[in-house]
Structure 1
Amino acid sequence: MTVQPPNPFASHLPDQVSFDRHELGRILALYGRMVALGEWRDYGISHLRDVAVFSIFRRTAENALYRIEKRPRLRGRQGMYAVVGMDGQILRRGQDLAQVLRVLERKLIRPVE
């Protein structure tokens, strides 16, 4: 029987990336407003090793309209939050989730006829 020494880096690497309560609250507040307007109908959450993804759908059977991604490894570079469009284009990226979500909140503003 072999005994392996403990890996000092193992405790620093999470098994998966996830949204915390405040991040999820902010995302779900925006999601709720868009559901009330009838724009969005469904969502999905994925927690992977390198990224957490909140996917937004117009209908369940379609591809995601938008993906809100959290990548902690990009914290010191472009920013750990990103909003990605249906075609894979990054619409906004940054350190502050509220600032990043503003690109989607602009969809709430409509001209009055």
Structure 2
Amino acid sequence: MGTVTPFPLPAARMPVQVGFDRAELTRILDLYGRMVAAGHWRDYAMDMGRDAAVFSAFRRAAERPEFRIEKRPMLRNRQGMWALVGESGAVLKRGHDLAAVLAPVERRLVKLVTE
């Protein structure tokens, strides 16, 4: 008889790739669409790796992203898994709720209308 070799399982059972779920991606792409309509953004990129999923929004395609929205599940129990990172790399907002992290970007869409 032959020898049965067990299928190797990941030690920590961590996902191979971190991604956005449908509700999160809908919220982010809704904001992106409104920023495109307002003329602020023109391009985006998504990077889904082992530690983080990142959505980057660009003013133009050939420069650094104006904002990066990062999801890091490893920070869920600490300071929150969501982070809004500015163009210079500084963390502008961090939290447990995506809506609260996106609030500074959504404030840019508010315009004062005079009577």
Fold agreement, TM-score > 0.5: yes
Count of residue correspondences: 112
Letter in 2 for 1:60: A
The residue aligned with 2:55 is 54
Cα gap change, 1:91 to 1:3, in 2 (>3 Å): same
Larger Rg: 2
The question of 1:32 aligning with 2:15 is answered no
TM-score (norm 2): 0.89
% same residue: 58
3-state SS, counterpart of residue 15 of structure 1: coil
In structure 2, list runs of 5 or more residues that go unmatched. none
TM-score (norm 1): 0.90
Letter in 2 for 1:46: D
RMSD: 1.9
Shift of 1:109: 1.6
In structure 1, list runs of 5 or more residues that go unmatched. none
The residue aligned with 2:11 is 9
The question of 1:68 aligning with 2:32 is answered no
CA distance in 2, matches of 1:2, 1:59: 56
CA distance in 1, matches of 2:83, 2:14: 21
3-state SS, counterpart of residue 74 of structure 2: helix
Q: 4+ residue runs of structure 1 moved beyond 2 angstroms?
A: 1-10, 110-113
CA distance in 2, matches of 1:5, 1:29: 42
Cα gap change, 1:35 to 1:5, in 2 (>3 Å): closer
Shift of 1:2: 9.1
3-state SS, counterpart of residue 47 of structure 2: strand
The residue aligned with 1:101 is 102
CA distance in 1, matches of 2:52, 2:21: 13
Letter in 2 for 1:43: Y
Shift of 1:6: 3.9
Letter in 2 for 1:63: R
